[in-house]
Amino acid sequence: MSRPTSRPALVGALLKKELKAYSRDKIYLFLTLLVLIAIPVAYTFLPTTVSETITLAVSPPVTSMIDDAKDSLRAMGATDEQLAELDNADLSQQQEGLQLIEFDNEADMQRVIEGTLEAWRTDDGELTLRDKEAGEDEPEGAEKLGLDIGIAFPKDFITDVAAGKSGVTVTVYSDANVPEEIQGAMTSFVREAAYQLAGRQLPVNMADEQSIILGTDRVGDQVTLKDKLRPMLLFMVLLMETFSMASLVSTEVLQRTVTAVLVTPVKIGDFLLAKTIFGTFMSLGQGLLVLFLVGGLTVQNWSLVLTVLFMGSVMFTGLALYVGASGKDFMGQLFYTMLFTIPLLIPAFSVMFPGSAAVWVRAIPTYPIIDTLVGAFNYGATWSSSAGSLAYAAAWLVLLFGAGLFALKRKVETL
C-alpha cells in the first residue's frame, strides 16, 4: 500500500532530515555559532575613524614667530602687503594632513619627542605637560598626544632667512620609529618654507589643487576599516557555510544513506533540490543575521546587497555539493574544502588594500561578489554601475553550481 506523495512534501521531508543532521553535527554547529557571535563582536571593536594626519610639534609657536618677525622686517623696509603675506603663510591654521602642536619652549618639545615628558591637550585646546617620572598626575579632562616628530626653529628664523643671512639652522627632533618618508618630508617642508620666506619662487608652474586631484576627493571622508571589513565579514560568513554543507553531503555519500533515501519515492532531483535549498538557506540566513547585526543596509543599496548575498549563497552551496560529492572522511573533507575555499577567499582580503585588485585576483569566481558588495556598501554602487560585475558573478554561479549538481548527481548514481 502506498500513499501518493507530492514533490514539495518529499523535498520538505528531506529538508527536515537535513536540519536534523545539521543539528547533530556538533563541531560545525559549534563553529557556526562561534562565527555568528565572534564576527559581530569583533566588528564592534574595529576603528571607526581613519588617521590621515601627521601630528607635528613646533617650537616656538608660529604666530609668535610671525609677530616677532614683523617689527624686524618692517625696519628692513618690508611693506604692509609683504607683511600680510606672512599671515597668509601661518602654518598654525588648519592644514589638511598636518596637525601642529605648538610649544613655547624647545627643551620641553625635545623632551616630549624623547619620551621623558608627556604632552596632553585639554578640551579647550590648551597644551599641558606632565612629568610622569616626577610623579605628576594625569591632567583631568585631557587627551594624551602622541608626538614623535617636531621642528625647532631659531627665534629669528623668519627675519634671518628673509634677510638672506647664512648659517640659519633648523633642528628636526624625531623618534627613531618615525618612518623615513615622514622625516624626509618634514626636512623638505622646512627647506621649502625657507625658500618661500627668502622670496625664491618655485622653479616650476603648478596647476591649482583641484585640477591635480584625480577621482573623488575623499580627504576627511575616507572609508574606515570598519566599513571596509563589513563586506568581507559577510562574505566570509557565506563561505564558512561551505564547510558544514560539504561535510553533510560527504557524510551522506560516505555512509551511503543517500541510496536508502532513493529507494523511497524520492527522486535524485528532489535530493539535489533539497540540498540546494538547505545550503542556500543556511548560508543566506547566517549572512542576513550578521548583516542585521553589523548594519550597513540603506534605502539605496538593500536590493543590490540582498541579491548579491543570495548569489553568493547559491555559489557556495554549489561548491559544497561539488566538494562533498568526493565523500571523504572528516579530516580529508576539511582539507579538501580548504583547498577550494582558500583561493576563493583571496578577493575578500584584497578589499583591505588601496587601489584596484590585480588581474589574477579579478579572475577568481568570488571577485565579482565581493566587488559588488564593496561598491554597494562603501561607494554608492547602483544596479546599473554593478551590471558588469553581476553578469560576471552570474556566469561563475552557473558554472560552479552546475559543476556541483553534476558532480553530486554522478556520484549518487554510481553508489
Partner 1 sequence: MSPKLTWKVLRKDLALGPRSPIFLWAIVLPFALTLILQFTFGSLFNPEPRLGIVDGGDSEITAQVEDMKGISLTLLDDAEELKSNVEANDLDAGLILPAGFDQAVKDGERPELQFYISGESYASNRIILSVTAIDLVRGLEGSKAPVTVDVVSYGTAGLPISVRLTPVIVFYALVMAGIFVTGSNLVEEKEQGTFMAMLVTPARIGDILAAKWMLGTLLASVLAAATLVLNQALGSNWLQVFVVVAVAAGLSSMIGLLMGTFAKDSTIMFGLVKGLGIFLFAPTLFYIFPQWPQWIAKLFPLYWILEPIWRVSILGGSISEVWVELVVAVGITVALVPVIGLVARRVQAQMASAG
Site for partner 1 in 328-387 (CB under 8 A): 329-332, 334-336, 338, 349, 352-356
Nearer to partner 1, 281 or 336 (CB): 336
Nearer to partner 1, 367 or 401 (CB): 367
CA distance 316 to 133: 58
- Minimal distance in Å, beta carbon 293 to partner 1? 21
Q: Which of 50, 137, 151 is nearest to 101 (CA)?
A: 151
Q: Interface with partner 1 includes 396 (CB under 8 A)?
A: no
Q: What 3-state class would DSSP assign to 92? A: coil
Q: What 3-state class would DSSP assign to 165? A: coil
CA distance 366 to 375: 14
Cβ atoms of residues 95 and 120 within 8 Å: no
Q: Interface with partner 1 includes 168 (CB under 8 A)?
A: yes
Cβ atoms of residues 340 and 319 within 8 Å: yes
Residues 122-161 that bind partner 1 (CB under 8 A): 157, 161
- Minimal distance in Å, beta carbon 264 to partner 1? 29
- Minimal distance in Å, beta carbon 374 to partner 1? 13
Instruction: Pick the piece of the chain touching partner 1 (CB under 8 A) from 75-83, 165-173, 308-316, 390-398.
Output: 165-173
- Minimal distance in Å, beta carbon 189 to partner 1? 5
C-alpha to C-alpha distances, 328 to 18, 98, 111, 324, 412, nearest whole angstrom: 19, 58, 65, 8, 14
Nearer to partner 1, 289 or 334 (CB): 334
Residues 46-65 that bind partner 1 (CB under 8 A): 50, 52-54
CA distance 171 to 58: 10
Cβ atoms of residues 135 and 123 within 8 Å: no
Copy the grid coordinates of residue 57. Answer: 610639534
Residues 170-229 that bind partner 1 (CB under 8 A): 170-177, 179-185, 187-192, 194-195, 197-198, 200, 202-207, 212-220, 222
Nearer to partner 1, 71 or 192 (CB): 192
* Distance from the first to the final alpha carbon of the chain: 28
- Minimal distance in Å, beta carbon 265 to partner 1? 33
Rg of the chain's alpha carbons, rounded to an integer? Answer: 32
Copy the grid coordinates of residue 122. Answer: 585639554
Nearer to partner 1, 98 or 277 (CB): 98
- Minimal distance in Å, beta carbon 182 to partner 1? 6
Copy the grid coordinates of residue 371. Answer: 566587488
- Minimal distance in Å, beta carbon 313 to partner 1? 24
Residues 18-37 that bind partner 1 (CB under 8 A): 26-27, 30-31
- Minimal distance in Å, beta carbon 216 to partner 1? 5
C-alpha to C-alpha distances, 273 to 265, 270, 284, 405, nearest whole angstrom: 15, 5, 16, 9
Nearer to partner 1, 299 or 331 (CB): 331
Question: What is the DSSP secondary-structure string of 234-245?
Answer: HHHHHHHHHHHH
Q: Mask: binding to partner 1, 66-105, rule CB under 8 A, as x and -? A: ------------------------------xxx-------
Number of chain residues interacting with partner 1 (CB under 8 A): 77
Nearer to partner 1, 14 or 86 (CB): 86
Q: Which of 121, 319, 283 is nearest to 112 (CA)?
A: 121
